[in-house]
Structure formats: C-alpha cells, structure tokens
Amino acid sequence: MKKDDIFLMPILLVDDSNANTILLKAILNNEGFDLISVASSVEETRAFLDEYKIDLILISTILSKGSGIELCHEINGDLRYEDIPAIMVTADSKIETLRKSFENGAVDYIAKPINSVELIARVQAHLIRKQVLDERKKSAITDVLTSLYNRRYFDTIFDRQYNKSKLENIPLVFFMIDIDNFKKYNDNYGHQAGDDALQQVSHAMKAQLKRNGDYIFRLGGEEFAILLLSDNIDHCQNLSDSLHKGIYDLNIEHKYNEKHGRISVSIGISKVDVSDLITKFDIYNTADEALYHAKESGRNHSEFINIKPDGTKSEKSKDGKFRLMDIFK
C-alpha cells in the first residue's frame, strides 16, 4: 500500500453537532479524504461499525445521548474493532478529561476550536500507522498461498468465538472442509497444478461468505475451516450448498476423484450450543467426525452434527431427521 492510499481509508465522525461535523468533513475533504461518514449517537456508531469497514474514528467527548469517552471504551473493548484508532475531539483540555480519554482507549486528541493543520497532521499520522500495522498483521495471520487466514489465526479466533458463543448464548458453527482425493490430484497433475487448484478453491469458498464475523481459514494442505456464530440452521445449510456449488462450478478436472470427475469438497459441520460441559476439543473432534462420515458416504457433500448443552449430539440421518448420540465416548 502506498502513502497516497491513506486517502482511500474510510473515516467515521461521531458528533451530534451538525456544525462540528460539517467543519471537520470540509477540512478533510479539502485535503483529499473523501470516504467520510457521520454518526450522531452511540447507537448509530455501533450500527455503522457492524455494517462497514472503518479505519479511523473521530469522537466528540460530549454527546447528547451518552459519553464519547464511554463509546471509545466500548469500541476499544470489542475484539472486532480494537484495531481502529480513535481520536477524541474536545473543547475540554482539562488533564482529567485527557487522562480518562487515554485510559479508555483513545490514541490521541484534537482540541476545539479546530486547527485544520493540526487535524490533518494527526489524521494522516494515525492512518499511516494503521496502514503499517494492518500490513504486518495481515502477513502474520494470512496463508501465503491462498491469502486465507492461517492456522495460527484459527487458534486465536476459535478461542474468541468459543468464549463469545458461551457468553452471548449464540451457537458456534464449525465447518471442516477437505478437498476430495487431493493427494491423487497432486500425484497425477503435479504440485504446481495442485497449488493453482488450492488458490481457485480458496477464492471460490471465500466468495460465499457474505456476513461480517464469518471467518475462513486454511488449516494446512487441502484442509480448510469456517467459523461463525449463528442460531439459523437455514443459513448453515445455504452456506454449505453454496460452497459445494461454487467449487463444483469451477469445473477443475480431476479424473481420479471417483464418481465426480472434477475437484469437489467434503464438509463436516458441528453446530454447538456451547456450555461448560463442551470443550473446544469436543467441537473440533465432532466436526472431524462429521467430515469422516461425509467422505465415507460418497464425498462431495456435507454431514451435520448438532451438539446440545448437555453434551448429547444429534446428526442428520438419511431420512432428514435427527438422532441423539452421546458426544462423550
């Protein structure tokens, strides 16, 4: 990313004063920052962050509904937004106000009345810093070949999603995905063709994820994973169907993939009502068990196992119904 690319990084202004936001936006626009959005309340800010990517937030310390400092604390404490730098915009230069701002996650402050030179200098400095940090983080958590998240980041997100699932009482869904007969593909078509296939499959799978908070990883070799939080079984089914279709429609020849003749995947899905009785090890093993069933029953489809809070699990039988099983053998 070039330095000029900071002008393409979206900025959010949080202030319930039209006069203030008009002034801030005019100064930033005049410098070349065009991706400027505005929120006037804590609720609007939350909704905006849930929906859009933001690289920098300027927050007024005083809002008619809620506190800018408390909002800064909330943003800094949310794992989804903790990397977004927040600058407090304040007419109150008391040491106590500044201390509270920094204690609650602010990276800087801008004093009112606004000095345009100071505003631009601080905004540019923090966007350049975020640009560098984002590149470093991306290289640390990304698989080089496929550009998906890597195994190291999977372990981090798995812990986060597990804890969030238990805290918010939203089921954790784990897709374990394996390219069918991929060793035969490498052996017969060559490793360069194998790498090309991995890249195409990865791109096709990533394209099926439409929601913020749904994560896809390359665990290693031809094995992938998707983690998401959802209590909607139809969403899980639709995602499974779109993954199979997206990959099958690539029409990558694989004569050694029995019955299918092209690259396909098998998927094991565990949907988990997380409780103290269920460990991450149980969830991983259950997805792996479902994947085994998918491969044993012909490949190129998904098998689903639902783990209940009491430790029992149900899986789809061939008639589409569920049967209960004990997760702890």
Token representation of residue 210: 């439409």
Helix, strand, coil percentages for the chain (3-state, nearest 5): 45, 20, 30
Question: What DSSP state is assigned to residue 169?
Answer: T
Distance between start and end Cα atoms, the chain: 51
- CB atoms under 10 Å from CB of 234, counted, come to 8
3-class state of residue 122 by DSSP: helix
For 223, what's the count of Cα atoms within 13 Å in the CB-facing half-sphere? 11
Token representation of residue 47: 């909704």
Token representation of residue 220: 């290693």
The most distant pair of C-alpha atoms in the chain lies apart, rounded to whole Å, by 73
CA distance 46 to 25: 20
222 is catalytic: yes
Catalytic residue among 74, 222, 289, 303: 222
3-class state of residue 218 by DSSP: strand
**63-73 b/e (C-beta count within 10 Å ≥ 16 → b):** beebbbbebbb
CA distance 76 to 86: 8
Given a contact cutoff of 8 angstroms between Cβ atoms, the answer to whether 269 and 236 are in contact is: yes
Catalytic residues: 222
